[in-house]
């Protein structure tokens, strides 16, 4: 993500990139772009908002002074405009602050209420440049704010969040207006729904509920009682443009390439000739080298002159780590990886892989059954899962990789993809180890039909279909994966539940925490997520839509 250079579930590096791209805007520009958020989108609302904000400021001032408020409000209709007078018995404000009452003080009082907060580790769903991810709200806000202390800052609007319209009851992506950080002495509540979703908020943080007449109403977290209903969107808004291909170079780090012979072929000579325009420098390749060599320094990257002149220009290639150092991932989009090792066969794979049915299923298989070794990515299946083994072999072949399949102990079969950049990509975007697995960003940006195929493959790997309860369950030890899967279901219009349980029946000495993502209910016919017919005895996937409501963040992170 990638615009946030992160993965869903990974926060390192986000703050640095956001800080580099942030842009301060004036109070006037902030007002112009956010009239609807500030309450000034109509004359009537503007008058109500102005009175409310002025009176709120008076109440705050008298409260801080420790005196009973005595407030006078006068509204005079002057034809083309209204004159508003608000007087109070508080300590007052300086003349310099008066122009800011409906500027900085307004968005401060409206959005910087110290009571309404999320804890910094709470994740929010965001979209930037049509790419979707979840990120801790603390990391997101820290990217725009000073390193320490309480702060508020408007944001230019390049980040959007799912937002709920109380009038139309529809969800849409709306700009995040500003970032806020503050301390609070108030009580923090952990709200857990019957669907297993939870969030930590301060007591005055507002959620949405329904009245008996079906109207939406704001309710503070501290007012909730067991059994109360809070709203969630049945379906999250679509991200807009979908991703058609995955550039593997965007998901490989220089550290992963250390000691590997991975090259990118297919550069035009004209492109590589640019490197020769760099400054010539003489230096030792390593600190213990006995002589200096000549390099071209292009955009701060040193390319060995002999290698460029003798090999790279003629062969139309560069080492993959040099491509990353130059930032030429996009220029290499139509190129091809080639790998080689001493005594081994050369393998070839495109830099850009189509985000196809086969590829998303391969990603799901890796999350369920895969691991990364020193030089390979492996998929371990039960010996009886011959169809999954064959499908994995075919999926690797579609992207140009070779496989070796071997039988193992405990009635298992392992499919190995040797020397493939896929192993580097999967390790980075999906992580390694069962407790760390996560869904890569590009799955959230894929076409809906490919998302459905991904979910189906994921449940085939680590899921179960229970009858007659009509329940579909996925089990993982990765909390990140479980939460992401719930969001992905939500994007298909299906509300999933998450259960947390302790498993003491595994191979480990200590019990492990498991997360089970389930879909079920009586409204099966309302969801068309899976339309594939299954044969008798074949594991199937039921299209489920839960009738119950539970809470997810439905307004912008503040």
CB of 418 closer than 8 Å to CB of 347: yes
Final residue belonging to a domain, choices 290, 325, 354 = 354
Residue 464 and residue 396 share a domain: yes
Q: What is the pLDDT of residues 328-382, one digit of tens each?
A: 999 999 999 987 654 456 678 899 999 988 899 889 988 988 787 766 777 777 7
Residue 492 CA to residue 100 CA, distance in Å, equals 45
Residue 420 and residue 489 share a domain: yes
For residue 407, being part of any structural domain is answered with yes
Domain count, the chain: 4
Beta bridge partners of residue 414, listed in sequence order: 380, 406
C-alpha pair distances (Å), 376 with each of 33, 316, 355: 51, 26, 21
Residue 152 and residue 133 share a domain: yes
pLDDT at 366: 87
- CATH code at 38? 3.30.565.10
Instruction: Please state whether beta strands 336-339 and 131-136 pair in parallel, antiparallel, or not at all (unpaired).
Output: unpaired
pLDDT at 315: 94
Q: Strand order of the sheet with strand 471-476?
A: 463-466, 471-476, 512-520, 497-503
For residue 546, being part of any structural domain is answered with no
For residue 77, being part of any structural domain is answered with yes
List of the chain residues with pLDDT < 50: 1-13, 22-23, 104-115, 342-343, 466-468, 522-558
- CATH code at 372? 3.10.28.10
**pTM, whole model, 2 decimals?**
0.67
Beta bridge partners of residue 198, listed in sequence order: 192
What are the tokens at 58?
A: 């008076």
Residue 314 and residue 215 share a domain: no
- Residue 99's domain comprises 34-111
DSSP letter, residue 43: H
For residue 535, being part of any structural domain is answered with no
Could you give the maximum distance between any two Cα atoms of the chain, in Å? Answer: 90
Q: What is the pLDDT of residues 99-140, one digit of tens each?
A: 655 554 444 444 444 446 788 888 888 888 767 777 888 888
Nearest to 264 by CA among 296, 312, 298: 312
- Whats the size of the chain, residue-wise? 558
Residue 393 and residue 335 share a domain: no
Show Cβ contacts of residue 237 under 8 Å, excluding neighbours closer than 6 positions: 162, 171, 172, 173
Residue 177 CA to residue 38 CA, distance in Å, equals 10
Q: How many helices (H) and strands (E) does the chain have?
A: 16, 29
- CATH code at 152? 2.170.16.10
Q: Work out the number of other CB atoms within 10 angstroms of the CB of residue 49.
A: 18
What are the tokens at 76?
A: 């005079």
Residue 507 and residue 449 share a domain: yes
H helices present in 8-80, as ranges: 14-21, 27-33, 35-38, 43-65
Nearest to 245 by CA among 446, 492, 431, 22: 446
Residue 164 and residue 151 share a domain: yes
């Amino acid at each position: 993500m990638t615009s946030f250079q992160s993965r869903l579930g990974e926060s390192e590096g986000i703050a640095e990139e956001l800080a580099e791209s942030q842009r301060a805007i004036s109070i006037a520009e902030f007002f112009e772009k956010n009239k609807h958020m500030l309450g000034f989108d109509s004359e009537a609302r503007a008058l109500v908002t102005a009175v409310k904000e002025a009176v709120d400021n008076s109440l705050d001032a008298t409260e801080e002074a420790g005196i009973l408020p005595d407030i006078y409000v006068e509204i005079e209709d002057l034809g083309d405009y209204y004159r508003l007078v608000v007087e109070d018995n508080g300590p007052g404000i300086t003349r310099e602050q008066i122009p800011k009452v409906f500027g900085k003080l307004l968005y401060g009082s409206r959005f910087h209420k110290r009571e309404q907060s999320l804890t910094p580790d709470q994740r929010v769903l965001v979209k930037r440049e049509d790419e979707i991810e979840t990120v801790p709200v603390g990391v997101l806000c820290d990217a725009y704010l000073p390193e320490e202390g309480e702060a508020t800052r408007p944001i230019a609007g390049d980040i959007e969040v799912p937002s709920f319209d109380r009038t139309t009851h529809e969800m849409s992506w709306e700009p995040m207006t500003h970032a806020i950080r503050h301390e609070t002495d108030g009580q923090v509540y952990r709200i857990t729904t019957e669907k297993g979703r939870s969030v930590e908020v301060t007591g005055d943080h507002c959620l949405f509920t329904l009245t008996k007449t079906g109207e939406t109403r704001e309710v503070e977290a501290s007012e909730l009682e067991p059994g109360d209903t809070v709203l969630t969107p049945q379906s999250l808004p679509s991200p807009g443009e979908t991703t058609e291909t995955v550039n593997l170079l965007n998901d490989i780090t220089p550290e992963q390439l250390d000691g590997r012979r991975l090259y990118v072929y297919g550069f035009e000579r004209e492109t590589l000739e640019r490197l020769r325009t760099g400054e010539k420098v003489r230096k030792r390749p390593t600190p213990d080298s006995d002589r200096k060599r000549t390099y071209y320094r292009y955009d701060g990257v040193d390319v060995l002159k002999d290698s460029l002149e003798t090999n790279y220009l003629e062969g139309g290639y560069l080492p993959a780590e040099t491509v990353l150092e130059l930032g030429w991932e996009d220029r290499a989009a139509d190129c091809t990886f080639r790998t080689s090792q001493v005594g081994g066969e050369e393998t070839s794979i495109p830099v850009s892989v189509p985000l196809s049915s086969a590829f998303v299923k391969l990603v799901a298989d890796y999350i369920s059954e895969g691991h990364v070794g020193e030089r390979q990515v492996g998929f371990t299946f039960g010996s009886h899962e011959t169809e999954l083994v064959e499908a994995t072999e075919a999926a690797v072949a579609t992207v140009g990789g070779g496989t070796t399949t071997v039988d193992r102990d405990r009635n298992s079969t392992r499919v190995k993809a040797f020397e493939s950049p896929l192993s580097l990509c999967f390790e980075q975007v999906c992580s390694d180890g069962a407790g760390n697995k996560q869904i890569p960003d590009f799955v959230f940006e894929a076409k809906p039909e490919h998302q459905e195929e991904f979910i189906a493959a994921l449940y085939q790997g680590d899921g179960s279909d229970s009858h007659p309860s009509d329940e579909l369950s996925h089990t993982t030890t990765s909390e990140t994966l479980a939460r992401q899967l719930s969001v992905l279901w939500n994007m298909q219009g299906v509300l999933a539940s998450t259960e947390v349980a302790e498993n003491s029946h595994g191979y480990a000495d200590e019990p492990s925490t498991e997360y089970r993502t389930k879909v079920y209910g009586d409204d099966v016919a309302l969801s068309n997520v899976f339309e594939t017919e299954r044969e008798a005895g074949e594991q199937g996937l039921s299209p489920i839509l839960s009738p119950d409501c539970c809470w997810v963040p439905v307004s912008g992170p503040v």
